[in-house]
Amino acid sequence: MGDLCKWLHEQLQQLPPPIKLGQKFLPKNGIYFFYEEGETWGHGGDEPRIVKIGKATGFKARIGKHYGTSEAILNLDKSKGKLSDTSVLRKHIGKAFLKLEGRSDYLEIWHKDFSIPANRAKLGYQRDIILEKEIESKITERLWGRFTFRFIIIDSQEKRKILEKPLIATITQCRMCRFSYNWLGKHHPDANIQQYHSWLLQDAENSPINDADKDEISEAIKNTQKWIKDNW
């Protein structure tokens, strides 16, 4: 598994250095790979390691839901969902912050999706909006300050859906990659986050990439390189 993880990281290194939202024009569709400051791979040296993989239809909007904005946090109230209800990455980081700050009592409420009207109607009275704003602010600061991403363009929604699972498994099942001593994910209430050394849980136990997948990835990287040359 380590060889596949190393191969994937090295293939993506053919692309320009990781960026943040707003730094460059983004494509419409593809798969993104988040990196986190201070987190390096276990394959020799100190290359950055992937900590989150996801697929996107409408790249800018999807990535934007992860990063969040101060305005959206300021306008948060019980009539709407949390920012983290539309981003699993934000939800995981929020859980780690809650645990770290001794607010495990709020984890169950934080886990609820309040973008769903029925949940707001039934459970909204349990929400602590002040606390949610504090946690959402910490998440946004963390993401804008420490997270960057690369992407590969894959226009086919079906191909993105199929390829995302083995990509995630390749990263989470690597036993050579480790989290750093100061990694926030160590405080996540689900021990699997530590086991997978990433902000990933779903699809972590699937089969990793195979030769056919590698061909798809290599082709996508070539197409992405051409797109970047034409658009950046």
- 201-224: average pLDDT: 94
Q: Do strands 147-153 and 48-57 pair parallel, antiparallel, or not at all (unpaired)?
A: unpaired
- 109-115: average pLDDT: 97
The Cα 5–Cα 86 span in angstroms is 28
| Predicted local confidence at residue 111, as pLDDT | 97
The Cα 15–Cα 12 span in angstroms is 6
Number of structural domains, the chain? 1
What is the token pair recorded at 95?
A: 């859980």
| Predicted local confidence at residue 204, as pLDDT | 87
The Cα 48–Cα 123 span in angstroms is 40
pTM above 0.85, yes or no: yes
Instruction: Give the 3-state secondary structure of 35-97.
Output: EEEEEECCCCCCCEEEEEEEEEECHHHHHHHHHCCHHHHHCCCCCCCCHHHHCHHHHHHHHHH
The Cα 185–Cα 192 span in angstroms is 10
- 136-142: average pLDDT: 97
| pLDDT of 209 over the 90 cut | yes
| Predicted local confidence at residue 84, as pLDDT | 97
Domain residue limits at 69 = 1-232
